[in-house]
Amino acid sequence: MKDDLGKMAVDLERLLKLRSLPFGMMLCERREDMEAIHRIRRPKAIHTLDQIVGQAARLGFTIGVTAEDLVGSQCRSVVGLGNAKDAEWRSGQQMAGVWYATLEDSAAHQAAMDCVPDGKYEALVVSPLAAGRIDPTIALFYATPGAMIYFINGLQWSGYKRFDWSVVGESSCADSWGRALKTGQPSLSIPCFAERRYGGVLDDEMLMALPPAMLAQAIAGMEALAKNGLRYPFAQYGIQQDVRAGMEVSYAKK
């Protein structure tokens, strides 16, 4: 799979006109496995996980982190580093009065998050897919809403499946990498305040996370759609034109 990731990254950038690098996340049961990766970077300061992701997607870095490198339990809990999900974390008390009206609302938010269970992993590596330095647990990329629906259309081309996603609100990393790492299912999110403020996510970007093997399925689907004249970016037809000529191109009578 590692040998195929570079080509898939190029295909994604070509088909979706991406503005940042597709990247992967790999969970490591031992810290030493993370430290053994070729040219691994280690943070020199305390970061949010959004910043670590941003450095991989925007700067092309391969970075490894442990619980001690991350600013607090919220970042650690989503990817299962350390033993972050203690009673204080579950209470949501840090978010009460900031993001949620009451402590009960905050606790309900914490309970709604999709997170990797604590206790199994000591480190996480984030790296561009094209770098070929890791066998990622999940692959991720940022794209516009138009590119995202085209990617989803590609996933649904063969072996159709309806996708249902949720929005946890702030800490939406639980909707993307948290959910994908936990369930192994494609996971789409609307990046939250923290991702945009600290991770450099642009205002018109969404985030997809999914198992790397599913990238090939989506790419094959998008290539098939392209042969039917369905390509991204979508050409504007006009809101007052007679629609029949345009529709007949895609839906010719059989």
Q: 48: which 2 tokens? A: 């949010």
What pLDDT score was predicted for residue 248? Answer: 87
Q: Where are the domains of the chain?
A: 2-233
Q: What is the pLDDT of residue 88?
A: 94
- Helix 213-227 crosses helix 2-16 at what angle (to 10 degrees)? 40
Token pair listed for 246:
């345009």
Report the C-alpha gap between 201 and 45 in whole angstroms: 20
φ/ψ of 134, rounded to 5, equals -135, 160
69-82 pLDDT tens trace: 999 899 999 999 99
C-alpha to C-alpha distance for 229 and 231, rounded to whole angstroms: 6
Residue 9's closest CA among 25, 24, 30, 26?
A: 24
The Cα 16–Cα 151 span in angstroms is: 8
- Under-50 pLDDT residues of the chain: none
CA-CA distance, 119 to 83, in Å (whole number)?
6
CA distance 239 to 187: 32
Q: What are phi and psi of 236, to 5 degrees?
A: -75, 135
Q: What is the pLDDT of residue 1?
A: 60
Whole-prediction pTM = 0.94
Q: Which amino acid, residue 170?
A: E
150-206 residue pLDDT tens: 999 999 999 999 999 999 999 999 999 999 999 999 999 999 999 999 999 999 999
What pLDDT, on the 0 to 100 scale, is given for residue 199? Answer: 97
